[in-house]
Amino acid sequence: MITFHNPLQHTHAPEHEFFRGERVPCFENPTRAAYVEAALTARGHVLHPPDVDCTEVLAKIHAPRYLAFLASAWQQWLSLGEEQNRVQPFPSVWPVRTLRSDIEPDNFIAKLGLYSMDNGSPLAAGTWTAAKAGADAAASAAARLAAGERAAFCSTRPPGHHAGPDFMGGYCFLNNAAVAAQWLRDHGAARVAVLDVDYHHGNGTQSIFYDRADVLFVSIHGDPRTEYPFYLGHADETGAGLGAGCNLNLPLPAGTDAATWFAALEQACARIAAFGADALVVSLGLDTHEGDPISRFRLATTDFLRLGARLRGVGLPTVLVLEGGYAAAELGTNAVNVLEGFEQA
């Protein structure tokens, strides 16, 4: 399987996030990608840098004012004073119900709140550079399918599936999986299925495609009543308008074991088969692993071989896009296991 990496991922390196009122080191950090790259290299995979510019497709996924904000956010932050360079910006105010989000305020922190779903997506100097390069990697992987490749993997960091049309969230800034899906739509695929197996519901991807009939979104994730992102991902969200019936959420309780998880995967695959897609994009979160520090499913390292094999069984040209996974030292092995399970099936 052809593999892509994001050579600029390390430029996104915020130091801390908030947890229960305290600053803690970021779970989503550059060592994650280093482990994936080391494991891929050790098993003989050649990592390709992105060779496609996703700018055109990005504009179909994200709002222009959000992209403009993200691209200039660090410069705007520094314009408040050079000393801001040593501090991470966090939003402190959000346009929740009854407040207006149509007018972009001038104040930087107010803009940051407008374009954020949480305070858990810290910005750093290289965030835009890294996010854009990651989205380029996703588009590059999709482009290889259009060129006839059976499957492609991209080691994207930062992740993407919580990023919606006009907001960041959950460590995500640009929706890499949505970029891959839209790229495939624009280059010959009439229908694309997105299967999200990250522990957390892919609220951003769901929202981007919710009213579209050409992209099916299917997600297996921790029940949002107890798990992030909390405010989306319930089973009764089935799509709207033209997209009615083109969204399937399979929430599972925290603590779910591999047997139950793979039964949900069968349901997901059945829905994808019925949809009649021309290509598959997998939001490959590996935070379903039993050792994950922020998640509560119980998949073992060998279960990722089985996942890879089942994904191949779907029988479609497939892009695998890395999402979460915070047991960093196990992340490389888990990722490579999915790839090898896929290749050996």
x/- contact string, 1-20, with ligand SP5 (CB under 6 A)? ------------------x-
Calpha distance 137→143 (Å, rounded):
10
Please choose, out of 71-79, 131-139, 252-260, 285-293, the segment that lies near ligand SP5 by the rule CB under 6 A: 285-293
Clarify whether 162 is annotated catalytic: yes
Per the DSSP assignment, residues forming a β-bridge with 47 are 3
Told to check if 201 binds ligand SP5 by CB under 6 A, we report no
| Least distance in angstroms from the C-beta of 190 to ligand SP5 | 29
Calpha distance 317→314 (Å, rounded):
9
Told to check if 287 binds ligand SP5 by CB under 6 A, we report yes
Told to check if 200 binds Zn ion by CB under 5 A, we report yes
What does 228 interact with, of ligand SP5, Zn ion, none (CB < 5 to 8 A by kind)? ligand SP5
Please answer whether residues 91 and 116 qualify as being in contact, where contact means their C-beta atoms are separated by less than 8 angstroms: yes
Q: How many residues bind ligand SP5 (CB under 6 A)?
A: 16
Told to check if 113 binds ligand SP5 by CB under 6 A, we report no
Please answer whether residues 204 and 321 qualify as being in contact, where contact means their C-beta atoms are separated by less than 8 angstroms: no
Of 4, 167, 209, 228, the one binding ligand SP5 (CB under 6 A) is 228
Of 285, 308, 332, 341, the one binding Zn ion (CB under 5 A) is 285
Told to check if 330 binds ligand SP5 by CB under 6 A, we report no
Determine the angle formed by the axes of helices 328-344 and 30-42, rounding to 10 degrees: 40
Q: Looking at beta carbons only, is 237 or 323 nearer to ligand SP5?
A: 323
The catalytic position among 62, 161, 162, 221 is 162
Please choose, out of 79-87, 196-204, 244-252, 308-316, the segment that lies near Zn ion by the rule CB under 5 A: 196-204
| Least distance in angstroms from the C-beta of 61 to ligand SP5 | 17
**Residues from 290 through 319 that contact ligand SP5 (CB under 6 A):** 293-294
**Residues from 286 through 325 that contact Zn ion (CB under 5 A):** 287, 324
Told to check if 198 binds ligand SP5 by CB under 6 A, we report yes
Q: How many residues bind Zn ion (CB under 5 A)?
A: 6
**Residues from 34 through 63 that contact ligand SP5 (CB under 6 A):** none
Residue 176 vs residues 17, 54, 253, 259: alpha-carbon distances, Å? 22, 10, 27, 29
Of 77, 90, 167, 171, the one binding ligand SP5 (CB under 6 A) is 171
How long, in residues, is the chain?
Answer: 345
Active-site residues, by number, are 162
Binding site for Zn ion (CB under 5 A): 198-200, 285, 287, 324
